[in-house]
Structure 1
Amino acid sequence: MRDQTARNRVVVIGAGIAGLTSALTLAARGFDVTVLERAAAPGGKMREVAIGPARIDSGPTVFTMRWVFEELFAGIGLNFSDHVRLRPLSVLARHAWDDTQHLDLFADEARSADAIGAFAGAAEAKRYRQFCADSRRIYEILEKPFLRATAPSLPKLATAGGIGGLIELRKIRPFTTMWKALGDYFHDPRMRQLFGRYATYCGSSPFDAPATLMLVAHVEHEGVWIIEGGMHALAQALADCATRFGATIRYQQSVREVMVSGGRASGVILDSGERIEAHSVIVNADVGALPAGLFGEAVRTAANPLAPRLRSLSAVTWSMVAKTRGFPLCRHSVFFSRDYSREFAEIFGRGEVPTEPTVYVCAQDRVDDEARLGASGEEELLVLINAPPVGDRKSFDQGEVARAAERAFGVLQRCGLRVDIDQSKTRVTTPADFNRLFPATGGALISTSNSSSPLAPSRASSSTRSC
């Protein structure tokens, strides 16, 4: 006989942010929730890497749109700020093209305009103001019918407001590439490159992604925060609140199979052979894990496979504790390649790590220009370059990693930053490593690239077909 308690039970596979959010919401509504996570801690891609006593954010490092979590917590009677402490940044990012060309963007639009004026001229600053106004308008148009929608689509957006909806659709320039649209605003190629980087936030190339991704500029102007205790503290807060409402989170538990009965999920079987019956199963894994058969044959057809060419960017990252000198790092710093089009052609066209990559550095002991370094002078860093999502077919051996490091840290050196690398305090993650951590992705960090989608950020449906 079927376990009667299973009628109210939901099994969540994966304690990533989406899985934890689902668990928290359902547990607060009275469901019997069990979360199964194969890692030893929550967070999923919001991961941290331990190097001695240091805990380095080695996944997402930028926290925006805090209202998403404020609404989530308020909806279950909690105050988000009671559980997660935030500190706003005034310097959004510091950008460098070489050892003399540096530009800061600020949370304050006027300060950014002044900085751009000093860097690229008054006309460029004026065009920046127009860019900000238009990116704000794109965000406002897309917020309700797309960003907040359960199943967003271009036809729904176009028809939601009749003729008005079609007019609004034209304003977001859905069929213009981001790179082309940026050329209408910025005449200085450095500015076009700087704002084109926002496409990579969604795993895409600015040369292929839609112009709607300009809305990221507005999102950042609405606020960028540091989470006290690191980004992983957000995952831990979600997990703690979920358990407070009665959810059970079991770590180091791998699911072998999703059981199916009557055309719908009915529970899971763990690698240990343990069976857990349930009314519903939420799979917080990459959508490709289902058609890849990672959760059994019965659910293989519940979602469509994702063609490798549609995968988002992957990365090579260096989580490290090191001394730095030369360049004045702030929390977020970006060091640009000298040939942006070549960089993305090599990643998406040839499936190779760029010859000269753009390098992102998150200096996690710094807030704006304030450095909180220890007596040793070392600091916690995440160094990242974009890479192709080929981790399921390329091993990234020591030679490949060494070449990537030479290229990445060569760019930093060209821009004036010296990093004293101690290999014993450095952990490298390649696309192959990301694919092992998050199977069926090839190492793609966001799953789907937006290059083929006229709206951004595109995402898979939250529900699957019947099995």
Structure 2
Amino acid sequence: MRTSDTSTPTRAIIIGAGIAGLACALRLRAAGLHVTLLERHAEVGGKIRTIPSPAGPIDAGPTVLTMRHVFDDLFACAGEALDDHVTLVRQDTVARHFWPDGTSLDLYADEALSTTAIATFAGSTAARQFTRFCARTRALFDAFDAPMMQAPAPKLGALTAHVLRHPKLIPAMAPLSTLKSLLKSSFDDPRLRQLFGRYATYVGGSPTHAPALLSLIWQAEAGGVWVVKGGMHKLTEALQGILVAQGVDIQTDAHVDRIEADSGRIAAIHLSDGTRMGCDVLVHAGDPRALATGAFGASTSHVAAQTGKAERSFSARVLSFAATPHGPDLAHHNVFFNCDAEDEFRDLMADRVPENPSFYICALDRGQHKAPPDLERFEIITNAPATPETTDPEDLDPWLHQITQQMAVHGMHFSPTPTTASITTAQKFGQMFPASMGALYGQTPHGLTAALQRPTARTQIANLYLAGGGTHPGAGVPMATLSARHAAEAIVSDLTSTSPSGRTAMRGGMSTA
């Protein structure tokens, strides 16, 4: 943003129109920049994507919103209200869980209701253990929100000092423990250990290797889960509509072939059709590994170099389909556990697709205070390893048969039976998001300091910035949206400090440039 009356607004280009790219575009436009948003696919949304069906578009990515305040803040920065653009339905039932022995457990947005449900499910001791676990994870979430998630570039030294100022955090963190070992000491009932261990998969990790600190992820759901009426894609559609109305240039089917640097700064990007687009600021809102591996040319291959070597997070197999369900009553969020969690994560850590996975079923048309239609939309997700391969595997028929058999153990089946045609594999994710190796969450979350190894918004190149689930503060829709705020704030701060007058006139959140 330039302060001279005769100058034109700063030109910002954003590569990638996933949730981070959309959010960054909104914030930069609100700050007065001229913004061009480039998306290599035909639609915006990134991993928030759909496939067509006789029942309408079906989500094939994230399914619910948590940390709603992140999105209220995003829309407010553009002078808009979230509720004016999408309909959110808060879920009383956070998730419904099923085990092969026929038992089931609902967890609720109301902790007291969850405690009562656990007492009925596993006894009074389990209920007391759950209460202690909630207190522990809530303390961790509250303690690390500001210095970690909200901080643009957290440092180990600052975090260590923060912990030392609050010594009660040290036993709560269990710094020498994995999530698995923490849960073993927290719950006597193995079903509860299995349930809360699955939260490691929310960031693409295994409870056997993820740090105990990741137990705080439970609090993201405990703080509230919202269904977006119509599907998660309605959120990205709403953001796209606001951006177009505010003059952002959104170009789809625009593949960036090369980033051009000159004198240590980004000068332009080159599209695969030969178009050259100059810019003052460039934001890469995709997997930063694409930069590190030279996918955009040698001039940016030193950026986020750690991502080129770091182990990748898990991926998934996603089955999206329309059908009529038969069997147990489903909530919006449903988890069907296998008999042996150890077996599943042993396979994943060995880069094998699990032979007997737990699986998540999202009933997209439920949890909206009305009866679902006869033909419902469903999304089934299982964990899978990331892979450098790009050709779809040959085991999809036996894999789907295995999943169908596991559902039958729970008394669950669908009419018509879903087919392999609607499966998104790790290999397909890799094709859609080049250089990601199909990993859905960037780098692995394994190791106590893994969260500090992610790239942050600023890079070694002064006018190149990063956003997205592969950057700080991490994966997931709220985290990727926060990364966009970090990038936009860094850009505005840097432009202000380097402008000729040393300041930028702001009015109502908009630049006067």
TM-score (norm 2): 0.85
**CA positional deviation for 1:448:** 1.5
CA contact (8 A) 2:396 2:420 kept: no
CA contact (8 A) 1:327 1:418 kept: no
CA contact (8 A) 2:204 2:313 kept: yes
Question: 1:277-356 alignment to 2 at 5 Å?
Answer: 277-306=278-307, 310-348=311-349, 350-356=350-356
CA contact (8 A) 2:260 2:268 kept: yes
**CA positional deviation for 1:170:** 4.8
Shift in alpha-carbon separation, 1:280–1:309, aligned structure 2, 3 A: closer
CA contact (8 A) 1:287 1:303 kept: yes
Answering whether residue 460 of structure 2 is matched by residue 465 of structure 1, we say yes
Query: Which residue identity does 2:365 align to in structure 1?
Result: D
Query: Which residue identity does 1:465 align to in structure 2?
Result: Q
Answering whether residue 174 of structure 2 is matched by residue 173 of structure 1, we say yes
Runs (5+) with no aligned partner, structure 1? none
CA contact (8 A) 1:172 1:212 kept: yes
CA contact (8 A) 1:150 1:462 kept: yes
Corresponding residue for 1:195?
A: 196
Question: 1:264-283 alignment to 2 at 5 Å?
Answer: 264-283=265-284
CA contact (8 A) 1:212 1:456 kept: no
Corresponding residue for 2:498?
A: none
Runs (5+) with no aligned partner, structure 2? 1-5, 463-513
In the alignment, the residues of structure 1 paired with residue 450 and residue 142 of structure 2 have an alpha-carbon distance, to the nearest angstrom, of 14
In the alignment, the residues of structure 1 paired with residue 460 and residue 370 of structure 2 have an alpha-carbon distance, to the nearest angstrom, of 51
Corresponding residue for 2:159?
A: 157
Shift in alpha-carbon separation, 1:368–1:334, aligned structure 2, 3 A: farther
CA contact (8 A) 1:329 1:369 kept: no
Tell me the alpha carbon deviations over residues 293-318 of structure 1, each in whole angstroms, 9 at most, x when there is no partner: 21112111122153576211101111
In the alignment, the residues of structure 2 paired with residue 462 and residue 425 of structure 1 have an alpha-carbon distance, to the nearest angstrom, of 39
Pick the aligned partner of 2:429 from 434, 437, 443: 434
**CA positional deviation for 1:53:** 5.2
Corresponding residue for 1:235?
A: 236
Corresponding residue for 2:375?
A: 378
Q: Does 201-210 or 70-79 show the bigger shift? A: 70-79
**CA positional deviation for 1:327:** 1.8
**CA positional deviation for 1:283:** 0.8
In the alignment, the residues of structure 1 paired with residue 172 and residue 103 of structure 2 have an alpha-carbon distance, to the nearest angstrom, of 34
Pick the aligned partner of 1:389 from 381, 386, 390: 386
In the alignment, the residues of structure 2 paired with residue 424 and residue 98 of structure 1 have an alpha-carbon distance, to the nearest angstrom, of 24
Shift in alpha-carbon separation, 1:266–1:5, aligned structure 2, 3 A: farther
Corresponding residue for 2:183?
A: 182
User: How many pairs were matched up?
Assistant: 457
Tell me the alpha carbon deviations over residues 223-253 of structure 1, each in whole angstroms, 9 at most, x when there is no partner: 1000112101111122222222221101111
In the alignment, the residues of structure 2 paired with residue 394 and residue 242 of structure 1 have an alpha-carbon distance, to the nearest angstrom, of 34
SS at match of 1:204: coil
Answering whether residue 409 of structure 2 is matched by residue 414 of structure 1, we say yes
Corresponding residue for 2:484?
A: none
Tell me the alpha carbon deviations over residues 203-223 of structure 1, each in whole angstroms, 9 at most, x when there is no partner: 110111111211122221211
Query: Which residue identity does 1:196 align to in structure 2?
Result: G
In the alignment, the residues of structure 1 paired with residue 69 and residue 17 of structure 2 have an alpha-carbon distance, to the nearest angstrom, of 21
In the alignment, the residues of structure 2 paired with residue 403 and residue 155 of structure 1 have an alpha-carbon distance, to the nearest angstrom, of 50
Corresponding residue for 2:11?
A: 9
In the alignment, the residues of structure 2 paired with residue 425 and residue 341 of structure 1 have an alpha-carbon distance, to the nearest angstrom, of 27
Q: Does 164-173 or 298-307 show the bigger shift? A: 164-173
In the alignment, the residues of structure 1 paired with residue 108 and residue 269 of structure 2 have an alpha-carbon distance, to the nearest angstrom, of 48
Tell me the alpha carbon deviations over residues 7-57 of structure 1, each in whole angstroms, 9 at most, x when there is no partner: 710000010111111100001111010001011111101111112451111
Q: Does 453-462 or 133-142 show the bigger shift? A: 453-462
SS at match of 2:422: strand
In the alignment, the residues of structure 1 paired with residue 418 and residue 89 of structure 2 have an alpha-carbon distance, to the nearest angstrom, of 32
Tell me the alpha carbon deviations over residues 90-143 of structure 1, each in whole angstroms, 9 at most, x when there is no partner: 111111112621111111111111111111111001110111111110011001
In the alignment, the residues of structure 2 paired with residue 289 and residue 112 of structure 1 have an alpha-carbon distance, to the nearest angstrom, of 43
In the alignment, the residues of structure 2 paired with residue 298 and residue 440 of structure 1 have an alpha-carbon distance, to the nearest angstrom, of 17
Query: Which residue identity does 2:257 align to in structure 1?
Result: R
Tell me the alpha carbon deviations over residues 158-184 of structure 1, each in whole angstroms, 9 at most, x when there is no partner: 1247x4155535532333211111112
**CA positional deviation for 1:185:** 1.4
Q: Does 410-419 or 28-37 show the bigger shift? A: 410-419
Answering whether residue 88 of structure 2 is matched by residue 86 of structure 1, we say yes
Shift in alpha-carbon separation, 1:420–1:5, aligned structure 2, 3 A: farther
**CA positional deviation for 1:423:** 5.3
Corresponding residue for 2:507?
A: none
In the alignment, the residues of structure 2 paired with residue 68 and residue 222 of structure 1 have an alpha-carbon distance, to the nearest angstrom, of 13
Pick the aligned partner of 1:120 from 122, 133, 147: 122
Shift in alpha-carbon separation, 1:126–1:455, aligned structure 2, 3 A: farther
Let me know the Cα RMSD of the aligned residues. 2.1
Answering whether residue 98 of structure 2 is matched by residue 96 of structure 1, we say yes
Query: Which residue identity does 2:133 align to in structure 1?
Result: F
In the alignment, the residues of structure 2 paired with residue 291 and residue 306 of structure 1 have an alpha-carbon distance, to the nearest angstrom, of 7
Shift in alpha-carbon separation, 1:167–1:111, aligned structure 2, 3 A: closer
CA contact (8 A) 1:330 1:368 kept: no
Corresponding residue for 2:499?
A: none
TM-score (norm 1): 0.93
SS at match of 2:360: strand
CA contact (8 A) 2:178 2:211 kept: yes
In the alignment, the residues of structure 1 paired with residue 56 and residue 444 of structure 2 have an alpha-carbon distance, to the nearest angstrom, of 32
Identity of aligned residues (%): 36
**CA positional deviation for 1:84:** 2.3
Corresponding residue for 1:405?
A: 400
